[in-house]
Chain A
Amino acid sequence: MDAVLTTLKILIIGDSGVGKSSLLLRFTDDKFDPEQAATIGVDFKVKAITIDGNTVKLAIWDTAGQERFRTLTPSYYRGAQGVIFVYDTTQRETFTHLTTWLTEVETYSTKPAIVKMLVGNKIDKENRQVSREEGLKFARKHCMLFIEASAKTRDGVECAFEELVEKVIQTPGLWEAEDGRHGNVNIHSTNTGGYCQC
């Protein structure tokens, strides 16, 4: 087995009922539970994934979306290298609230280079209210990764997490500093050994 390169902290946020916990369950256990209870406070799951030959352990923090929990959950934002913003493509309100969530992350995140990903969930449902173009536009405006997904049909879920992790690994200074490891990443292995001249 590959040695674990690092442990990354990923955060999932968004309005209540947009399917944050379901996305996470689909990713970690490849399950969909219609009986998924509403999260209280924060919850937590771990999964190891291998990307480009680097095995990375993910500690994914799932948060409650209710307004009232919003003073409680941001404490757990600290140290996160990646954040997934989730909205419900069938509920416009959850999309318009994204700016609030962005502000939350900007205020409470401790890593300025944190990688942001936008996920439009529940594309399996019929009564879509937010188009893919709108999502794309929003993501572009705020320098985020974007994907539409369905936790129910598993569309886009795994891809979303993998993209995010890959981006985190490629972002310099985002994750190395924690344990002082540098340059072990296979992506950067095209390291030409020119001699130093001084």
Chain B
Amino acid sequence: MESNAFLKATRAKWAVVRSDDRLLLIALAGFVGAFSGLAAVALNRGLHFMGEVFQDVHHHWWGFLLPAAGASLAAVILSIVLKERAGHGVPEVIYAVSRHGGLLRMRSSFSRLLASCLTIGTGGSAGPEAPVVISGAALGSNIARFFSLKERQRIILVGCGAAGAISSIFNAPITGLVFTVEVILGEWRASNIIPIAIAAVAGTEVSRALQGNQIAFEHQQFVIHWTDTVASLGIVVFATAASLILSYLLRSMHQVAGRTRWPRWLRPAIGGAAVGLIGIFLPLVLGEGYQSIQEMIRGTFTQGLALAALVLAAKIAATSLTLGWGGAGGIFAPSLMIGSLVGVLYYRLLTGFIPAGALTNEGCFALLGMAGMVSGILQAPLTAIFLVVEITGGYDVILPLILVSALTSTSCYYIESGSYYLRDLIEQGQYLRPGTDARVLSDMTVAELVDSGDKPVPGDMLLSDFVRILEHSRRYLFPVEDRTTGDYLGIVFVDRIRPYLFDTHMHAVIMLEQVMDDSVPVVRLDDELVDVLYRMESDGLSALPVVEDGRFVGMLSKATLLDHYRKELIVQTGV
């Protein structure tokens, strides 16, 4: 009896949660955030383990083969065993959110973790954040699917997964929240932020419970003067240049790799071997590079100006080789190291011209370089600011940090309008910016809006017969089809044939196919509605015929389209 009462009470409570979407989302957000956090911890532990196992191997002459073997094995696991495509995964998440209501494959929740563990753990120059983002996002997506949530709610849980993962891997909850909203979802809305914030907290708590409350880099005290803020403006130029070079090289390497006829599993091995070769001479470029970043922040990075410049160039090359040739991993960690090198180099160049005492130490500039680089490559200034603040535990440098992030992001945007994550999607026309007509309309199809009520008239119909139809009709346009084949021929616009209608002598002479307009653009069932709307506006038409397989399907009117657009907008702005 007691157990029955307990079951009933539990069911009643679950019914309350299920009936209120916000409560349900909050409950699931914590769940998704915690699981994403676990995935991130697993990757972190895996990377530590791999680092310990292989730390001596890199010193051997044949050590360059290790990154090649790791990247190649990762590619085999991804493409042959798990049948996934390589890549870091964040564009895949953005694409899923943008186009398919956040639907992601379950296998994505672990495939990139395995692959990136092998790639980065053996020395590949990449970061762990992108693999954990897609893992967390895939977990969120599949949990949403399990609970049969609506599309809008599924997208939020995808964001929760990404937030939980980023929060956990960097022990940085605000960065997780901001990254998700700024980069993954691309829209700031209270209904999004609350569950994502909860997921970020859950992910961070899991990380702290299992790994301790540690920040990635030891906190340093900096005393910032106005001179540092002014001097930081120069970093914008250097960080912009470095971001663009890295971005260009990543793309070039990807194109070169794509043009080769080598098997997919072999391509990352080529990149990995090249990175391994660089690593023999400059081991600093291998892996995440957190130790070097720590030294730069501390001001104990002892390499001279020339060597630091060489490491910078080598790190950019190594990152391009790793990721461009199909290695699994993210861009955050390499960007942090490249950025800190940019900052250190800039500081050392600057102190060659002005007295060193006028500025705070080079560790501060390393932080500014990191923020500039991340904001430049991701074009996400808030993510960069909060990431640097949270992983270094310092708020001292916030003013120049904001300045550098905002300006670098803006300058990169002016030169290249898409971030590293979005560029390919934008170029292929596959990215639908949140809040745009294209995004709202992408959730509807031509088939849903087409009005099949308008029956076509045969092309060989005489005008006299047509006038009789017209007498009993309120339509102003008539689709015309071939009587024998049933193929669509064109449209008769009543207002355009008025001279013939009033000339009764013509009624027995003219057939509809002589007066129809066959130049009206037609719509196909798989056309994008935003393109259809554009066609209507550019041609000044209020309706277009939908034709599939050569047959007339129905008419699609602008009024219907805009009416459904408004309804969809209401749906998308609610939860």
Partners in one complex: no
A residues adjacent to B (C-beta < 8 A): none
B residues adjacent to A (C-beta < 8 A): none
